[in-house]
Structures are given as C-alpha cells and as structure tokens.
Structure 1
C-alpha cells in the first residue's frame, strides 16, 4: 500500500485514505496490468490520476473485486456494469441485490441447461463408444 497523499483536489477522495498502485492492485487480484487498464477503459473502475500514475482507492478495489467475481460467475461485462452502478443508485444496495438475484436466477438456469446438454452429449458418446467396441469385437 502506498502512502496517502496530504492534499486533495476539490471533490477528491479523502487524502488520508489508503491508496494502491496498479501493480499492487493487479497482484492482489491475480490479474495483469492490462486487465486493470481494460476495466478502466470500459469505465468500470476510475482510479485517480496523478500525472501518468494511476492511484487506486478502496472503491476501485471493491469494484474490481466485484467485476472479477462477476466474470468468474459468467456474467457479461455489461451486466456487471449494471450491477455495480446500481450500488450508486438512489435505492442503492437494495436495488442492487434485487437485480443481482434476478441475474443469478437467469445465470443458474443457463448453467443448468448447459449441464443437461453436457449430460446428454456424454450419454450419446458413451452409447456410440459401446456400439463401436461391440462392432470391433465382432470383427475379431
């Protein structure tokens, strides 16, 4: 963690709050600098700029953690953006949670359908293998 700055621009984050560099954030979350910059380019995170240096605050780290969790769960980035942005909405956490629950239901249904499709494909493959082995035995 880097040392907090002692001065802040109007409207900036509390200068006494801890900050992190892109290297520290990338290492903490196990991603590349390029990945962190990509999420910044998409507007999903918005670190403070001090010259050419990116300065990450607690909010950026929280958002990055949510982005990566959403990606692990298979949510597209636009859905992740909506979920994260809802936190800042007037109804805040409640609207975010209601939306996330609806998205979880959709994601779960999609994954369960994929599982059914995989099970059907595996079953078909097993049956095909059985027939091939049987044909091979008859040839011997």
Structure 2
C-alpha cells in the first residue's frame, strides 16, 4: 500500500470498505437468487400436487382419507410457500440495504479520489508557476549579463 499523505490513506481505507461492501452485495444477491429459485420450485411443486389431486379425483376416484391427506398437505405446502415469499421479501430488502450502503461507499471513494486529483493538480500548477518563475529569473539574469557585455 503506497501512502504519501493522509488523504491517500483515507482513499485506501475507503477502497477496502467498498471492496467489502461489494462482496456483501454479491452475497446478498446470491441469497436472493437462491430464495427466488426455491420459491419457484415450491410453487411448481404445489401446482403439481394440486394437479395430481384433480386427476386422482377425476380418474378412478379417491378415498376420503386420501382426499383429506392431499388437501392437508396442500394447505401445509401453501404455508411453506408463503413463508418462502417472506424470505424472498427479506432478501430483497437486504439487497436494497446493502446496495444503498455500496452507493454511499462508492461516493465516499469518489470524493477522496476527487480531492486527491485536485490536490495533485494544485501541486502541479504550483510547480509549474515555480518553474516559470525560475525560467523568468534565468532569462532576466541572462539579459542583464548581455547588457553588461
């Protein structure tokens, strides 16, 4: 880590924080994707089970016990689907929270980089003025030497 002044140290720290936040955002997005995938799978499973219940009732028929078992299983499955919806919503909120944190950290890093660039520009301008002053003095002395000769 190359640190010339405190501003570079702050910029490096902001960059590390942004890197950590980027990893956290990736993890949150991955959890959301997994939750969405699992939610879809549960919904498909519920639909398939309802379809098999309908086919069983329309086909050769079902005993009352089988009908009650299927219906109670579908009710339990619906509860699981709703719980998973809650988990998906929580994951979405977490992604939004981490994304907002990432944006703030990115803005902070950009601010430090802007300040460092402005400082470098000001230093370059000061150096340029100093060099111009030296050149002017050199030219003036050279002119004075010519006048003496």
Give the TM-score range, shorter chain: 0.3 to 0.5
Task: Answer with 1 or 2: which has the greater Rg.
Answer: 2
Which structure's residues are more often helix, by fraction?
A: 2
TM-score (norm 2): 0.39
Q: Which one has more relative contact order, counting CA pairs under 8 Å at least 6 apart?
A: 2
TM-score (norm 1): 0.41
